[in-house]
Structure 1
Amino acid sequence: MNDKIVIVTGANSGIGKAAAIRFIEEGYKVIMACRNLDKSKKVQQEIIELTENDRIDLLQLDMSSFKSIEDFCFGFKEKYKKLDILIHNAGYFNHGEKNYQLSPDNIELSFATNAIGPFLMTQLLTDILKKSEDARVLNACTTNVRHFFEPKRKIDFENLQGEFMDTRPYNIYKMYGDSKMALLMLTFKMADKLKKDGIKVNAVQIPAIKMSKETMRKFKSAWRIAAVVQNVFSSSPETMADTYFHICTSEEFKDITGKLINNKREIMQSSHYASGLIQEVKQLFDKGVYPKYADNIDNIEMVWDLAVKLTKAKMKIYD
């Protein structure tokens, strides 16, 4: 695998760090794409010492900033002539945030980081992904999208640039869920658009993951106790890193595109459950289905059109 190149965004902690280690141990060249260079340089050195392998590069990337994404992609193409695997692992979620947070491009911060950023970055790297014999893109979604099983739940398209920041309360939990649902729908559309180029695009549904001590310290006392309990039943970053690796390298998923895959490496299906209390309860416990909202063509086109509109100054639109 000495010629295989992998980009992992958010590779300085959690699943991203574990994934970087996993790929390096298997002989891949890994590019850590991270916002905080000071922290990331230390992690990079730690990984080199742990794996006894220096096939790991570090480039700065802020997924919330169009300019940073553009600079990263330009810098990557200056150094490398192809890209085999692109893993959009980085995400933004600031527990307890009560004030609207906007990106440098005036987009709600979690939506910019978790949905629009990956859309733009994938587009800007499409030409170099085409040069791989087996190009794969993996988008990190979460079980948070399952809140869209609620029939009235929808993405608030009219309030993604702070339009109502002075009149509506900010809900980071809803915005985070909206951004991950948008990413899932963009995955479906990108997979369809890039199929002709041989580029596979899938999403992985990440369950609750064991949190680091650093993350735990951000919680207030009551929430910290709940987090401790959650950690007991949560998956490890290493387990999910193995799942990333399997989806991005195995023969099993070589020809799979436009799918949501759960942490058991099963391809999920759009919910087939009918309305009604019993059916809705069964749906909640079925880990093999995702909300029908994600398959709604109108919803997908709205997310796609929004992403194109917001990024059109930075990219050439798909043919």
Structure 2
Amino acid sequence: MNDKVVVITGANAGIGKAAAIKFGNEGYTVVMACRNLERSKIAQQEIIEATKNPQIDLLQLDISSFKSIHQFSTVLKDKYPKLDILIHNAAYLNHGEKNYLLSKDGIELSFATNTLGPFLLTRQLVGMLEKSDDARVLHACTTNIRHFFDPKRKIEFDNLQGEFKDERLFNAYKMYGDTKMALLMMTFKMAEELKEHRISVNAVQISAIKLSRETIEKFQSGWKFAARIQNVFSAPRESMADTYFHICTSEEFKSVTGKFINDKRKVMEPSHYSNGLAQDIKQLMDQNVYPKYADNPENIERVWDLCVSMTSNPVSRV
């Protein structure tokens, strides 16, 4: 066994569980950060049995809740002297949801889970990460952000706390894309902020991956059927788990920070294509580029300022 510690959010199913198995097989101490402890204990035991590694820990974390993040951070600091790798794998996307749902802190649930939670948790754990000789943070992003190749697509900055929940129609898929784009832009800024702390921060683009049974069961009926069809043509979860591991442990990415990396482990660049139908098709097919929208300095600062202000002065509405 080595003495390296990795925290993986949402490690009880899907890619998160596959990643826990990968790191466990490699001798890491794995901390599964999960919301539902009862269900997660079963997954924890399965991972221990699969890896023959007893150093598979389980701690409760609701990444959408500021209180839960603070509690998790306190417990983690009491149990471990340092943290080497932090993987923000957990995400919220409730296919078919038609209503704006708010977190316990009064924030639209997708934004609270997919953007603010990772921001706050990393900030809480900077001191632990600094004690590692090779600290790395990884954000799980999505191909959904490729919709931002459309120049008309923008983040609804004015509705991230459900300000217009009674006036605008809710689109779960669009809100998921907005919050993951915000996560990517936050990644770029956080990498700059943590460079002096010797902590690398990158994002990985998740391609079409086979969904777990647990994830599919959360979908509404029509979406369940679509997800089962998609699974037939999707890559196994283990392939993305291997990519997580490579980005977070390899010499190749040791000095890489502030980058967006695809599932082929290639650093992506902002799109250089011009406007026009032919160019639109090229950039949509080119998995080595991402929308220029993500590099907009004004938007990056706006996301960062929102993350800072919302997590510094949370106002509960429940």
TM bucket (normalised to shorter chain) is over 0.9
Counterpart contact for 2:8–2:86, Cα < 8 Å? yes
How far the C-alpha of 1:212 sits from its partner, in A, is: 2.3
List runs of 5+ in structure 2 lacking aligned partners. none
* Corresponding position of 1:75: 75
Match of 1:239 in 2: 239
Residue 263 of structure 1: how far off its partner (Å): 0.4
Matched with 1:19 is: 19
Provide the secondary structure at the position in 2 that maps to 1:229.
helix
Q: Deviations over 1:122-171 (max 9, x none)?
A: 00101110010000000000000101001011110101111111111111
Partner residue in 1 for 2:277: 277
Distance 1:68 1:220, change over 3 A: closer
When the two chains are superposed, the root-mean-square deviation of aligned CA atoms in Å is 1.2
TM-score by length of 1: 0.96
Cα shift at 1:219? 4.1
Percent identity over paired residues? 68
Aligned residue in 2 for 1:92:
92
Q: Hey, what does 2:133 align to over in structure 1?
A: 133
Task: Give the counterpart letter for 1:227 in structure 2.
Answer: A
Q: Distance in 1 between matches of 2:273 and 2:44?
A: 46
- CA, structure 1 residues 221+161, in 2 after alignment: closer, same or farther (shift >3 Å)? closer
Aligned-partner Cα distance in 1 for 2:282–2:9: 35
Alignment coverage as a number of residue pairs: 314
In the alignment, the residues of structure 2 paired with residue 134 and residue 220 of structure 1 have an alpha-carbon distance, to the nearest angstrom, of: 42
Q: Take 2:2 and 2:266, find their aligned partners in 1: how far apart are those partners? A: 29
1:223 Cα deviation from its structure 2 partner: 3.5
- Aligned residue type for 2:183: L
Indicate the SS of the match to 2:201: strand
- Equivalent residue letter for 2:131: K
> What's the offset of the Cα at 1:222?
4.3
Contact 2:191 2:257 in 1 (8 A): yes
2:120 partner SS: helix
The reply to whether residue 60 of structure 1 matches residue 60 of structure 2 is: yes
Deviation of 1:264 (Å): 0.4
d(CA) in 2 for partners of 1:106, 1:224: 29
Q: TM-score, normalised by structure 2?
A: 0.96
Write the deviation string for residues 224-275 of structure 1: whole angstroms up to 9, x where unpaired: 4432321122111111000000000000000000000000000000000011
Structure 2 counterpart of 1:62, which letter? Answer: D
Amino acid across the alignment from 1:171: N
1:187 shift after superposition:
0.3
Residue 120 of structure 1 aligns to a residue whose secondary structure is: helix
Residue 180 to residue 151, structure 1, CA distance change in 2 (3 Å): same
Shift of 1:288: 0.3
SS of 1:105's partner is coil
Structure 1 unmatched ranges of 5 or more: 315-319
How far apart are the structure 2 equivalents of 1:36 and 1:222? 25
- 8 Å contact kept, 2:65–2:104: yes
Cα separation, 1, equivalents of 2:72 and 2:7: 11
Structure 1 residue identity aligned to 2:19 = A
Is 1:190 aligned with 2:190?
A: yes
Preserved contact between residue 96 and residue 223 of structure 2 (Cα < 8 Å): no
